Structure 1
Amino acid sequence: MQGTVDGFGYGMVTPVVSYLVACLGGALGLRCVVRSLNNQQSRKPGWLALGAVTIGCGIWTMHFVAMVGFRIQGIQIDYDTRLTALSLVVAIVVVGIGVFAVGYRGATNATLTAAGIFTGLGVAAMHYLGMAAIHLNGSLEYDSLTVGASVLIAVAAAIAALWAAASYRGFPAALGASLLMGVALTGMHYTGMAAVGVRLRGATDASYSTGMYGNASPPSILLPMLIGPVVFLILAGVVVMFDPQLVLGDGDWSRTTPRRRRTGIALPERPTHPPRTDSLFEPRDQRTGRHTTPRGR
């Protein structure tokens, strides 16, 4: 017996919110990755790890926000908390492979392509492992062609997002990369959900279909699990937005310092209270901002 699947139990609310969460996680994570590219010191792993965890949390949160609107007519849906948590770990680890590759091998075309493939596969792995966490009175079936299309969407959009973030400078490029990352996550999710079919085990049991959540999806299970990743995304946003080099408009995109070094002109040092550029992940030699000039010239 086939079950009737509805992925929009709350209308367009869950798709819109999940897309915004995906864009937020992508924006913060990609910013951390780009922020690390010109940092060759010991603080680079901190930015890369923050970027990987942020993107991973964005993927996971987007998926389960969207799943709040998922329901199957006539039966109750439950979730295995261990598999749900494992899907978060898998997303962070797989995305982390791509993120650290970009951070340490540079933003070359080959590296960005490989990193985008890993990031896209991380999105797909998280999605289908999260779907495996669903408990219901039946079994999920997938259309293989649609599943393949969902993976291709995730990989292609992830490559485009990484390439845009690392190749272009300025707010428009950062915004475009974030929107592409949102497309990678939500596009993959809803394409994957289009591949889902449900085969029920015999007739629907009345006591099972009218359990704690009735015919609706169980938001009271998912929403508490979303608190941790959402709080982390907020904290990551605080770290990124209060990074002094980002606030001052410089950061890794500044070309002012290289021009000064080429001309060999030393700027006069301020007599009192030089501006501080302490950053959570910035090495000490870059925080001081000192420029050396050969003597006698």
Structure 2
Amino acid sequence: MRWVAPIALFFAWGFTMHAVGLLLHEFAGHALVAVVLGCGIDAYALTFFGHGQVHRVICDRWTFERVILCDWAGLAVTSAVGLAAGLYLRRRPGLAPMPKLLLALVAFFFLIGQLGYAVNGGFHDLYDPGRTARWLGARGVHWLAWVPALIAYAVAAVLSARAAIDAFRAHFGSRSRLRTVGQLAGTLGIAGVLYFIAFRIEWAIRTDLWMRGVAVEAERIAAERHVAPPFPIDKVLLVIALGALVWALARPVRQPPPPQPIGRSTLIAVVGSTAITFLLVLVLVLAS
């Protein structure tokens, strides 16, 4: 039973990270730029465990450059928050292990999530990076649409995975590499599986979202055109992320302090942020 609290905490934090990232990407990014540079949005769709989308109003204010800015706004804003979380960690080495771990997870998932999207979309000419990728491809430099993002993805994965594993070991008192793996599987791993189940259930119910994953859409287009399936760049991203985690786990284990309880202030912060983001997403989903 002592693992129930960490599992619940990580599941709640995963939901909070998703909700905040979704709102940043769609509203602080796409919608805000659409209001400032265009004619606003006329519709949006959000999910509790998946992604969302906004529809900008088509009008004569939209130049090509403004459309490109709108395309990249969501990625830029959310990536900036992930980068800020990572930089804050480096400036505050004295943070308690659990808050440090939660911030490291923000940096990890925001950065690799957004940079991975940039790589996937740029490689396959789809969704937010798609317009830029096609423009670059027409000029013979299509690689610029995804190679720089791939390099940034690898760097972010290595740095944030190391910070997360170090904080995890410090909080749970992991005394060996094998014990760290077991504790990860029994806490973050279970929380991740539960989140994935919730995502699949919601995705099966929601039929109002036309956007699916980049890889799924790329395969659908290839089948529709009767051409060979596209190169699975998403698998390359997965290998890089897993490799970063394996490297972080393989690093020598320092003598850890005894396992620490989850602080009261951390519990209040996670529960409060989860409740607020859930209510906010619920209101927005019902209003759409």
TM bin, normalised by shorter chain, reads 0.3 to 0.5
Between Structure 1 and Structure 2, the one with more helix by share is 2
TM-score scaled by structure 2?
Answer: 0.33
TM-score scaled by structure 1?
Answer: 0.33
The structure whose Rg is larger is 1
